[in-house]
Amino acid sequence: MSQLREEFQITAMDFVTAGEASSRIKRILKKLGVNANVVRRLSIACYEAEINLVIHSMGGKLVLLVGENEVTLISEDVGPGIPDIRLAMSEGYSTASENVRMMGFGAGMGLANMARNADRFHIQSKVGEGTRIEMIFMIKDSRAEDKSEVS
Amino acid sequence: MKLKEIQALLDARGLTGEENPELEVISACASDMMSDVLAFPKEHMVLLTGLVNPQVMRTADMLDIRMVVFVRGKIPGEETLEMAKECGISVLSTTHTLYIASGILFTHGLFTENQE
């Protein structure tokens, strides 16, 4: 059962506020006394997810759930969806525009980096509807063997 | 390597955090792509970059980076510097290119290998 739930709305292509939700989530976890390495891994994954929402989605949200033994981070958007998840998970593959690359993003590392930093990673996407990513981080920093699951 | 040493080696101008000359780093990352910086984080790292938008500070904050060096004489806008101050990040600016600045720090002993 979650002891804390926070939700953050993310606006598409808003580079002014991009990252604010991740900063707030990081501060919440530090205040709760979560292990520094876990906070760092979660912050990286969270920021990657937030930037992806800004760059690729038509708007979405980040949901933070803090439980007794684990922290869950959910990224949900309203489209356009990912046609080929396995291809999107490949490091270096990106559909980001030149403008986004000039902002320093869109190198095609985001999804793979999220999976690398999370203890469990699950992504679902439907073209025309949207994408949902769920990442779980164990509070004791004991990384699970089976790290990623793609469906 | 301490902030004051990096500032001297790169003949850099301090933009924020000069009150902390003893701030020390043990690794470095040089890139204009924040995606790459996020993918290869190191402990106690200085970030060298030619990118000057606020997302540089956001990226640094997520990775607990406390020192950023802007290269090619670039000076970020007030918004970026304000964010650096809020996050407690020391900011320097050098006229050296990214390649040369990295080379200077590397040849003076700032390696990143064997720190996993």
Map out the domains of chain B as residue ranges.
Answer: 3-107
Contact B53 A105 (CB under 8 A): no
A83-99, pLDDT tens digit by residue? 999 999 998 888 888 88
Q: In what order do the strands lie in the sheet with B67-70?
A: B13-16, B90-93, B67-70, B45-49, B27-30
Contact B39 A47 (CB under 8 A): no
CB-based contact, A109 to chain B, within 8 Å: yes
CATH 3.40.1390.20 fits B3-107, yes or no: yes
- Dihedral sign computed on CA atoms, order A102, A107, A108, A110: negative
ipTM score for this prediction: 0.87
CB-based contact, A63 to chain B, within 8 Å: no
Which CATH number do you get for residue A73? 3.30.565.10
**Residue B112, pLDDT score:** 67
User: Which range marks the domain in which residue A68 is found?
Assistant: 4-142
Residue A149 predicted with pLDDT over 60:
no
**Residue B70, pLDDT score:** 98
Number of domains forming the structure of chain A: 1
pTM for the structure as a whole: 0.89
Residue B116 predicted with pLDDT over 70:
no
Q: Is residue A148 part of a domain?
A: no
CA distance B2 to chain A (A): 23
A16-65, pLDDT tens digit by residue? 899 999 999 999 999 999 999 999 999 999 999 999 999 999 999 999 99
Residues of A in contact with B61 (CB under 8 A): 19, 23, 26
Q: Is residue A34 part of a domain?
A: yes
CA distance A113 to chain B (A): 6
List of E strands, chain A: 4-10, 60-66, 70-77, 120-126, 130-138, 148-150
**Residue A115, pLDDT score:** 97
CA dihedral A56, B52, B104, B102 (to 10 degrees): 0
CA distance B109 to chain A (A): 26
Residues of B in contact with A103 (CB under 8 A): 34, 51, 53, 55
Average pLDDT value over all residues in chain A: 90
